Amino acid sequence: MSTEKVDILILGSGPTGLGAATRLKQHGKHDWLILDQAEEAGGLACTDLTPEGFLFDMGGHVIFSHWDYFDQLLDTALGSGSDAWNTLERVSYVWMDNRYVAYPFQNNISALNKEQQIKCLTGLVEAKVKNSLAQGKPANFDEWIMRVMGPGIADLFMRPYNFKVWAVPTTMMQCNWLGERVATVDVDRAISNVINNKEDAGWGPNAVFRFPTQGGTGAIWKGVAKLLPQEKQRYKETVTNIDKEAKTVTLATGAKIQYNSLLSTLPLDVTLRWLGKSDWADGLQHSSSHIIGIGIRGVSPHGTKCWLYYPEADCPYYRCTVFSNYAKLNCPADGVQLPTLCMGDGSPSASNGAANPGPYWSLMFEVSESQYKPVNQEPVQLGGKAWPAVVKETLLGALATTLMQAGDEVVSIYHRRIEHGYPTPSLGRDEVLAKALPWLQQYNIWSRGRFGSYKYEVANQDHSMMLGVEAADNILFGTKELTLNYPDIVNAKKNSELVWSLNNAA
């Protein structure tokens, strides 16, 4: 079998791979190729369609951007008007103690009961004093929480919630990744909010976001892929090995492709194990994600709520998105007739399979999994089909947290497990990255993307795409990669001045 040759080989057609390919095309380069094991573009930013016609993203993705370049590309792919995009204001809450607390929690302790308020405020003052006397940086994320927020907020929210998200204890995480990801606390403001009983929900880079009117998040990246030469994209192609010396990748079919430069968005830990660096790979940690979607007949009772946080043990999920609020077409048309699969509590429907029209609404849940936080995947019957037990647990959790009612009619159920869900900012991560990424580049391998470079602080869709764009420029010209190397700078503000116009090659 002859070996195919290509100048630049890209593994993965998510935002990073497509960003790199877009940049290569922009520079007039033609000798490149994308490989992906999936059926279509999107990577972890893809969208699935249930048999009943409900869309579910692979997590709570929304579009907010640090770069004009990113915005221009998306508008080129989907269009720029209201026909292509819905613009929404973030309406997010933390569900705690049978009440909603505005997000971020640490700015809204005024919503708690008096005993909890006192505990949180006392902890904030204590933390402010201790932090002013502290020597050096916090040793881990848990210590950062205690220094910044104190024991009240730590015990009520930060520790339990972050364990549900990351599936590792906060003591096992570093704090270099934080940046704009976690709101700090203005103590005077917090006290004022409590005294004035004021809700304070305006923090964060995603207070206003946009979302495609149709096709979910996956439509964005399928649109970007359509802007690229189709003959340079190959799907259903699984890479099984990389030979760094021969500069070849081997496919599941046995075929080999030789490259001059390789841009890989495969998980870095997988790549390192292939290349004999298991000791480095062992220093990287990740959690897996279970995405669970529920389609329901009726009208959503949740107003304009977007995504909601769940730190307590009364449900398995850490976040739920009212996905039908993002776009009407995330659900089937009202006139589509669907049978009821089961009731809101999981009990059988009495409709005997009769199909009825909508309207419909939907909820999308996220559950994390790791060796520290196992997930029950034993099969259980639900709606006439075997599902992992976590799906049934999620449905019951939705009742406990008032997201659903026992009498709701469930017309669609969705579940997908993603092995590499979150790249954990583990204590040993930076040491591994400092060795592994330059070592790979010695062999003309650029490992980039959410899991290719393992930096959660630059792992949103805009970050991921720019990692690909800047890697392409680095391959071609040796240009510095700002997003990879300077997360604090690129997250500081809108960075139109740091990149080039989509319409003009550098």
CA distance 424 to 429: 8
Best CA proximity match to 445, nearest among 238, 245, 273: 245
pLDDT value at residue 183? 53
CA distance 314 to 399: 10
Q: Mean pLDDT, to the nearest integer, of 286-312?
A: 97
Instruction: Provide the CB-side half-sphere exposure for 165 (13 A, CA).
Output: 20
| pLDDT digit string, tens, across residues 324-371 | 999 999 999 999 999 999 999 999 998 888 999 999 999 999 999 999
pLDDT value at residue 66? 78
pLDDT value at residue 194? 74
CA distance 372 to 207: 32
Confidence of residue 23 (pLDDT cuts 50, 70, 90): very high
User: What are the two backbone dihedrals, phi and then psi, of residue 18, each rounded to the nearest 5 degrees?
Assistant: -70, -35
The per-residue b/e assignment along 271-307, b for 16 or more CB within 10 angstroms, e otherwise, is bbebbebeebbebbbbbbbbbbbbbbbeebebeebbb
Best CA proximity match to 281, nearest among 90, 431, 466, 388: 431
pLDDT value at residue 469? 97
Asked which of 56-70, 149-163, 183-197, 315-329 is least confident by mean pLDDT, the reply is 183-197
* Residue spans of alpha helices (H) in 275-388: 278-281
pLDDT value at residue 304? 95
Mean pLDDT of all residues in the chain? 92
Whether residue 504 has pLDDT greater than 50: no
Confidence of residue 501 (pLDDT cuts 50, 70, 90): very low
CA distance 113 to 395: 28
Confidence of residue 506 (pLDDT cuts 50, 70, 90): very low
pLDDT value at residue 33? 98
Confidence of residue 503 (pLDDT cuts 50, 70, 90): very low
pLDDT value at residue 181? 44
Contacts of 120 (CB under 8 A, 6+ apart): 109, 112, 150, 152, 153, 156, 190
| pLDDT digit string, tens, across residues 436-448 | 999 999 999 999 9
Whether residue 175 has pLDDT greater than 60: yes
| pLDDT > 70: percent of the chain | 93
Whether residue 107 has pLDDT greater than 60: yes
pLDDT value at residue 1? 65
The per-residue b/e assignment along 101-132, b for 16 or more CB within 10 angstroms, e otherwise, is bbbbbbbbbbbbeeebbebbbebbeebbeeee
| pLDDT digit string, tens, across residues 219-238 | 999 999 999 999 999 999 99
Confidence of residue 17 (pLDDT cuts 50, 70, 90): very high
Beta bridge partners of 250: 241, 256
pLDDT value at residue 495? 54
pLDDT value at residue 167? 97
Asked which of 77-86, 99-108, 395-404 is least confident by mean pLDDT, the reply is 99-108
User: What are the two backbone dihedrals, phi and then psi, of residue 432, each rounded to the nearest 5 degrees?
Assistant: -65, -45
Contacts of 129 (CB under 8 A, 6+ apart): none
Q: Mean pLDDT, to the nearest integer, of 380-404?
A: 97
Contacts of 3 (CB under 8 A, 6+ apart): 248, 256, 257, 258
| pLDDT digit string, tens, across residues 222-278 | 999 999 999 999 999 999 999 999 999 999 999 999 999 999 999 999 999 999 999
Domains of the chain with bracketed CATH: 4-47+64-79+213-284+426-498 (3.50.50.60), 104-196 (no CATH), 287-422 (no CATH)
Whether residue 497 has pLDDT greater than 90: no
CA distance 418 to 413: 17
